[in-house]
C-alpha cells in the first residue's frame, strides 16, 4: 500500500508542476524559474555554420562553434566600450619600401573599410580621439599613393576615428607649407569636431605602428627618429615632419606662422611657439618613433629662402599676431575621393 500511495503523490506533483509551467508560458513570462541570466541563445541550424559568421571566430575567420550550431549574443554583449589605450592589433616594426607603387584604384580595393572622403571609425569600440590628418601638398601624387598605402592600415589598427585632408596650394607661386597647415585646421574643423590634429608631410611614413597618431598632454613630435638623420634628432629643437596638437594646444600657440615662403625655418618657429607658450614637446621612444622619408629632389617653388631667417628672428614679437588669427586664403574647390579629401586653395604669394 505504501508504494501505491507514493506513486499517487508523485503523479500529483508532476501534474501540478506541468500546469504551473503552462500558466507561465501563456502569461508571456520567461520560463526560467531559477532566474539564471541567459547570455547566449543556442539553436540548431540544421547544417553547417557559414565561414566567418560565428561569434567566436578563430584567427582564420572561421567559427569556433560546432558546425551544427549558431549563436546569437544578448543585447548586453553588443554594448560598445571605449577602445583600449594599447590597441590589440598593433604589430610593431614594419618593413617600409617604396620600390612599387599602387594605383589609386588598387588602393581603394585594399582599403574597403575607409568611408568616402578618407574617413574611418572603428566598428567594435568607441574611439578615444577624433583625429584630423592634415597634409600640405602640391605635385606629389606619387608620394601620396605611397603614403596612403601604408598609413590607412596603420591608422585602422590604431583604432582612432580619423579623416585625411590633403591641402593643395594652387598656382605656381612659392610654396608655403605652414600656411597650408593652418588652412587644413580651419577646413577640417568645419567638417567634424576633431579633438586632435596631426600635421604630416606627404613623404614621411612611420616604421612602427606603435608610434600612435594621437595627441597627448603636450604637443607631440612623431617623426623624431628619421632615417634621413640617422634615426636621431639632428638638434634638440627639431620639430619637423609629423607633429600632433590638440585643438586647445594649436589655438594656444596661435597655429603656425603664415610668413614662411619657400623651404626652411617654419619648424623651428613652431617649436619656439610651443616653448614660449609654456608647453614642452613629447616624443616617443627613438625605436618607436622611427620614420622613413621618400627621397626626392626639392620641388620647384620650394627653394631655400634666406628671408625666412629674418622672419624667425622677429617671431618672439610677432607670433601673437601672425598665425591662425591672421590667416587669409581663398577656397577654390573641395574634392571628395574615396581615401582622402582634397582641398585646393589660393594662399597668395610672398611679399616682393
Assess whether 346 carries a catalytic annotation: no
Assess whether 267 carries a catalytic annotation: yes
Residue 250 to residues 74, 178, 182, 240, 257, Cα–Cα distance (Å): 44, 13, 10, 15, 12
For 69-84, b where at least 16 C-beta lie within 10 A, e where not — what string?
A: ebbeeeeeeeeeeebe
Rounded Cα distance between 21 and 134, Å, is: 64
Rounded Cα distance between 13 and 7, Å, is: 10
∠ CA 78-81-85, nearest 5°, is: 145
Rounded Cα distance between 291 and 303, Å, is: 24
Assess whether 266 carries a catalytic annotation: yes
Assess whether 130 carries a catalytic annotation: no
Residues 274 and 243 sit within 8 Å (Cβ to Cβ)? no
Cell numbers 588669427: residue: 325
Assess whether 203 carries a catalytic annotation: yes
Rounded Cα distance between 80 and 76, Å, is: 9
Q: Exposed/middle/buried for 261, CB within 10 Å: 0-12, 13-18, 19+?
A: buried
Q: Which set of grid coordinates corresponds to residue 50?
A: 557559414
Give me the catalytic one of 41, 51, 286, 298.
Answer: 298
Q: Which set of grid coordinates corresponds to residue 189?
A: 574643423
Assess whether 263 carries a catalytic annotation: yes
Give me the catalytic one of 161, 207, 267, 269.
Answer: 267
Give me the catalytic one of 263, 279, 282, 283.
Answer: 263
Q: Which of 288, 195, 179 is nearest to 249 (CA)?
A: 195
Give me the catalytic one of 29, 41, 286, 296.
Answer: 296
Q: What is the DSSP string of 249-269?
A: HHHHTTS--S---SBSSHHHH
Cell numbers 503523490: residue: 9
Active site residues: 201, 203, 263, 266-267, 293, 296, 298
Amino acid at each position: 500500500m505504501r508504494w501505491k500511495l507514493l506513486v499517487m503523490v508523485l503523479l500529483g506533483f508532476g501534474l501540478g508542476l506541468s500546469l504551473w509551467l503552462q500558466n507561465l508560458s501563456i502569461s508571456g513570462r520567461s520560463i526560467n524559474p531559477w532566474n539564471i541570466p541567459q547570455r547566449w541563445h543556442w539553436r540548431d541550424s540544421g547544417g553547417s555554420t557559414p565561414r566567418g559568421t560565428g561569434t567566436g571566430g578563430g584567427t582564420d575567420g572561421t567559427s569556433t562553434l560546432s558546425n551544427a550550431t549558431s549563436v546569437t549574443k544578448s543585447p548586453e554583449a553588443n554594448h560598445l566600450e571605449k577602445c583600449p589605450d594599447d590597441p590589440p592589433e598593433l604589430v610593431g616594426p614594419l618593413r617600409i619600401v617604396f620600390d612599387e607603387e599602387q594605383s589609386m584604384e588598387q588602393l581603394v580595393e585594399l582599403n574597403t573599410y575607409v568611408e568616402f572622403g578618407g574617413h574611418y571609425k572603428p566598428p567594435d569600440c568607441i574611439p578615444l580621439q577624433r583625429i584630423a590628418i592634415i597634409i600640405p601638398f602640391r605635385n606629389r601624387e606619387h608620394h601620396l599613393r605611397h603614403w596612403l598605402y601604408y598609413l590607412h592600415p596603420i591608422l585602422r589598427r590604431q583604432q582612432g576615428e580619423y579623416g585625411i585632408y590633403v591641402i593643395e596650394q594652387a598656382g605656381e607661386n612659392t610654396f608655403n607649407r605652414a600656411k597650408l597647415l593652418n588652412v587644413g585646421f580651419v577646413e577640417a574643423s568645419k567638417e567634424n569636431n576633431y579633438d586632435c590634429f596631426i600635421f604630416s608631410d606627404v613623404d614621411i611614413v612611420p616604421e612602427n605602428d606603435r608610434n600612435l597618431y594621437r595627441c597627448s598632454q603636450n604637443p607631440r613630435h612623431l617623426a623624431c627618429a628619421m632615417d634621413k638623420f640617422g634615426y636621431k634628432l639632428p638638434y634638440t629643437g627639431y620639430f619637423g615632419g609629423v607633429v600632433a596638437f590638440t585643438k586647445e594646444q594649436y589655438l594656444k600657440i596661435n597655429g603656425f606662422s603664415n610668413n614662411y615662403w619657400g623651404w626652411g625655418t617654419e619648424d623651428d618657429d613652431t617649436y619656439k611657439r610651443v616653448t614660449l607658450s609654456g608647453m614642452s614637446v613629447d616624443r616617443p621612444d627613438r625605436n618607436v618613433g622611427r620614420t622613413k622619408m621618400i627621397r626626392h629632389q626639392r620641388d620647384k617653388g620650394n627653394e631655400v629662402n634666406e628671408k625666412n631667417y629674418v622672419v624667425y628672428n622677429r617671431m618672439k614679437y610677432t607670433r601673437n599676431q601672425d598665425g591662425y588669427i591672421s590667416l587669409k586664403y581663398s577656397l577654390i574647390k573641395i574634392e571628395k575621393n574615396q581615401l582622402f579629401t582634397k582641398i585646393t586653395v589660393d594662399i597668395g604669394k610672398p611679399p616682393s
